Amino acid sequence: MADPRIELLVDNLDRAYRGPSWHGTSLRGTLRGLKPAEALRKPAPERNSIWELVLHAAYWKYVVRRKLAGDARGSFPRSGSNFPALPERPDAAAWKADLKLLDSEHAALREAVLELSPARLEGSQGTWRTLDLVLGAAAHDLHHAGQINLLKRL
């Protein structure tokens, strides 16, 4: 029988990412139907666009997965860190590709959590317990889902 804590962590990740969730729209739900021009719009010159937030969310899913799996740095498919660079041609094909990148990073993180041994949940990943990293990844999705909802309404 699988550890119920791991099942709960995966459920938490999935609800924050795709829903259903009682608190509001999931991260992926906030992106439904957005066009590239809407995703590129910035509320002010030094603020992030929705597209930049999508790449940021994908990057941090990668970071958490990398820490869980013990993988080396430098394997994220886009240049830059924290807020990877937008594509040179930010068109519909690039938007679709970056949404697919977000989906694939979520799936990879989900698989890394499913592969954890119960003993690793309380173990440390630097400053944080493994359990905290996974919960933080779900909270991170919800934080940015809220930001994206606000940006869409501006």
- Confirm if 143 and 77 have CB atoms less than 8 A apart: no
pLDDT by 10s per residue, the chain, length 154: 578 999 999 999 999 999 998 888 999 999 999 999 999 999 999 999 999 999 999 999 999 999 998 887 888 988 888 999 999 999 999 999 999 999 999 999 999 999 999 989 888 877 889 999 999 999 999 999 999 999 999 8
Domains (ranges, CATH) in the chain? Answer: 4-153 (1.20.120.450)
Looking at residue 73, what is its pLDDT? 81
Orientation of helix 50-69 relative to helix 130-153, angle to 10°:
170
Q: For residue 77, give the DSSP letter.
A: S
pTM for the structure as a whole: 0.94
Over the Cα atoms of the chain, what is R_g? Answer: 16
Instruction: Give just the sign of the alpha carbon dihedral 53, 54, 60, 64.
Output: positive
